[in-house]
Amino acid sequence: MFIYDNWYVAALTTEVNSEKPLARMIVGKPMVFFRTDEGQVAALEDRCMHRGMPLSAGPICNKGRSLQCPYHGLEFDITGACVKAPSQTSIPRNMQVLTYPVVERDSFVWVWTGDPEIADPATIPRTTLGEPDTFGTFNLAHIEYKADWKLIYDNVMDLTHLAYVHTVVNGDVQANVEAKLTISTDDDGKRVSFVRKLPDSIPADQYKMGFDFKGNCDRWQEIECSASGMLIWTGAMDVGCGALDGNAGAMETKRTGGFQLVSYHAITPSTEGNAHYFASGHVNVHLGNEEVFAKMREGQMTTLYEDRVILEPQQARLNETPGRPVVSLAADAAGLAVRRMFKKLLTAEMEKKAPPRPARSSGHQDLMVELTGGAR
C-alpha of 33 from chain center: 16
CB nearer to a second copy: give 196 or 282. Answer: 196
Contacts 24+ apart (CB under 8 A), 15-20: 15/109, 15/142, 16/41, 16/109, 18/60, 18/64, 19/60, 20/60
- Binding range to a second copy, per CB under 8 A, among 196-204, 210-218, 257-265, 363-371: 363-371
Cβ 311 to a second copy, closest distance in Å? 9
Q: Which of 83, 103, 143, 165 binds a second copy (CB under 8 A)?
A: 165
CB nearer to a second copy: give 127 or 270. Answer: 270
- Binding range to a second copy, per CB under 8 A, among 53-61, 190-198, 211-219, 242-250: 53-61
Helix (H) or strand (E) holding 193: strand 192-201
Q: How many residues bind a second copy, per CB under 8 A?
A: 84
- Maximum CA pair distance of the chain? 79
- Binding range to a second copy, per CB under 8 A, among 40-48, 101-109, 196-204, 234-242: 40-48
d(CA 243, CA 197): 8
CB nearer to a second copy: give 198 or 285. Answer: 198
Give the ranges where the chain is alpha helix by DSSP (H): 149-157, 162-165, 173-178, 205-210, 290-320, 333-352, 365-369
* 50 is a contact residue toward a second copy (CB under 8 A): yes
* 366 is a contact residue toward a second copy (CB under 8 A): yes
Cβ 81 to a second copy, closest distance in Å? 12
Q: What angle do CA 79, 11, 51 make, to 5 degrees?
A: 45
- Binding range to a second copy, per CB under 8 A, among 13-21, 65-73, 107-115, 297-305: 65-73
Q: What is the DSSP string of 314-354?
A: HHHHHHH-TT------GGGHHHHHHHHHHHHHHHHHHHHSP
Q: Which of 20, 126, 340, 353 binds a second copy (CB under 8 A)?
A: 340
Q: Which of 65, 161, 255, 276 binds a second copy (CB under 8 A)?
A: 161
d(CA 285, CA 119): 37
On whether the CB atoms of residues 362 and 16 are closer than 8 A, the answer is: no
Is residue 184 helix, strand or coil? Answer: strand
Cβ 47 to a second copy, closest distance in Å? 5
Cβ 164 to a second copy, closest distance in Å? 5
Per-residue x/- track, 196-235, a second copy (CB under 8 A) = ----------------------------------------
Of residues 237-276, those binding a second copy (CB under 8 A):
272-273
Name which of 43, 34, 2 is nearest 148 in CA terms: 2
Cβ 70 to a second copy, closest distance in Å? 6
Q: Which of 20, 126, 352, 364 binds a second copy (CB under 8 A)?
A: 364
Name which of 161, 141, 142, 164 is nearest 151 in CA terms: 161
Cβ 302 to a second copy, closest distance in Å? 16
Q: Which of 94, 291, 354, 355 binds a second copy (CB under 8 A)?
A: 94
CB nearer to a second copy: give 223 or 331. Answer: 331
CB nearer to a second copy: give 126 or 180. Answer: 180
d(CA 151, CA 356): 26
* 354 is a contact residue toward a second copy (CB under 8 A): no
Q: Which of 18, 40, 73, 213 binds a second copy (CB under 8 A)?
A: 73
On whether the CB atoms of residues 83 and 76 are closer than 8 A, the answer is: yes
d(CA 162, CA 156): 9
Is residue 136 helix, strand or coil? Answer: strand
Of residues 291-330, those binding a second copy (CB under 8 A):
310, 313-315, 317-330
Of residues 137-156, those binding a second copy (CB under 8 A):
148, 150-151, 154
